[in-house]
Structure 1
Amino acid sequence: MAEDQGISETGHEARPEQTLGEIGLWQFAPYLMNRIMGRYNANLQTAVRPQNLTTAKMRTLAVLAVVPGLTINELSVYAVIEQSTMSRTLEAMERSGLIRRETRESDARVREIYLTDAGQSEFDAVWPIMYARYRELFTGIDDAERTAFVGTLQKVLRNVRLHDL
Structure 2
Amino acid sequence: MENILGIKITEARTKLGLTQDQFGAHYGVSGPAIFKFERGYVKPSLDLWMKIAADCGIAEKKAVLLWIKAKLPQQYQSFIDLSATAIAEPFAVYEKPVRPPYARIGDQREMRQRLADDPTLPPGMRAMFADDEFWALYRPTGEEIQKLVEMFRSYTDARESLFREALRLIRDFIRSQY
What TM-score does the superposition give when structure 2 sets the normalisation length?
0.22
Relative contact order higher in (CA < 8 Å, ≥ 6 apart): 1
What TM-score does the superposition give when structure 1 sets the normalisation length?
0.23
Identify the structure with the greater strand proportion: 1
Q: Which has the larger radius of gyration?
A: 2
